[in-house]
Amino acid sequence: MAALRVAALGWLVLLLAGGGPWAAGQKRKEMVLSEKVNQLMEWASKRPVIRMNGEKFRRLVKAPPRNYSVIVMFTALQPHRQCVVCKQADEEYQILANSWRYSSAFTNKIFFAMVDFDEGSDVFQMLNMNSAPTFINFPAKGKPKRGDTYELQVRGFAAEQLARWVADRTDVNIRVMRPPNYAGPLMLGLLLAVIGGLVYLRRSNLDFLYNKTGWAFAALCFVLAMTSGQMWNHIRGPPYAHKNPHTGQVNYIHGSSQAQFVAETHIVLLFNGGVTLGMVLLHEAATSDMDVGKRKIMCVAGIGLVVLFFSWLLSVFRSKYHGYPYSFLMS
């Protein structure tokens, strides 16, 4: 009994003196955490997107303790990497980070960082990453889950889309503030001025406004642009193409039916235009008053265009809808 009383008295003295080993360890964690937060806040005050190498990433992002989230963009911005998508995504990422840095709601609960492949290739290897750009949220507690990796190919890299993903993963709402861009209004004003000038010069003869061929061509261009996915690109802001930073291979066709690249839109637009031109030639061959020889040439050319470009369209469809069994001329 005496021994138990002495032991209890000893623990009581330790607790009164400062909590013992557990309290000392807790204080060390708090000191390390405070140093991390202060360091990140200092860097964030100078540059909204903090550039990290392998050592900084392991110390400030991977290693505990941490009570803050870090959004990290893994990219390859060096010119010799020739990653056009990386540069475009970086511009949007900078807009998002600046919007947060200069927001009235700015706190030390979330930071934006970047790891370039040429500055932190060991980080890419550690995370088994083989593509860029990639956005990952490292939460304040625990390891990143599946939803903490941003679906770039599906959502695109527009700052507004990134902000919605950040709000979903961290509960931090960021209002994106873009710098003013007057290029759009200026181009629209210039176009209206040109159209107005042409109408004024032809004010004595406005028969061209009733030209059915001109209106049909304009309508056809609009339809081809919409059916190829231009509106989807405008809303989602997908990358132009995807280049693997390790192999250098460039993909112009997205492998999923739920997303597309800008280059893919241009390719589909070209193929649709080829099929349309072929159909127009077939129609002209059947209804025009030209001699039989020219009409035969137009017919053969029309059939060739339809067959060739439709085969290419079908091959694109097969590459996106895996398991589709049909093909024509080419797979």
Domain with 143 in it: 28-170
- Among 139, 170, 201, the domain boundary falls at 170
Longest dimension (CA), the chain: 123
pLDDT at position 23 is 66
What is the domain-level CATH number for residue 59? 3.40.30.10
The sign of the dihedral angle between the CA atoms of 254, 263, 131, 150 is negative
How many C-beta atoms surround the C-beta of residue 158 within 10 A?
A: 20
Q: Looking at the domain assignment, is residue 330 inside a domain?
A: no
One domain for residues 36 and 152: yes
- Among 150, 170, 190, the domain boundary falls at 170
Enter the pTM of the model.
0.59
pLDDT at position 139 is 92
Q: Looking at the domain assignment, is residue 220 inside a domain?
A: yes
User: Mind listing the pLDDT tens digit of every residue in the chain (331 residues)?
Assistant: 555 454 555 545 444 455 556 666 677 878 888 899 999 999 988 899 999 998 999 999 988 888 899 999 999 998 888 888 888 889 999 999 999 998 888 888 999 999 999 898 899 999 888 888 899 999 988 889 988 999 887 788 888 999 999 999 998 999 998 877 677 788 888 888 987 887 777 777 777 677 787 788 888 888 888 888 888 777 767 777 777 666 667 888 887 777 788 888 889 899 999 999 999 899 888 888 888 888 899 899 999 999 999 998 888 888 888 777 777 777 6
- Among 170, 189, 220, the domain boundary falls at 170
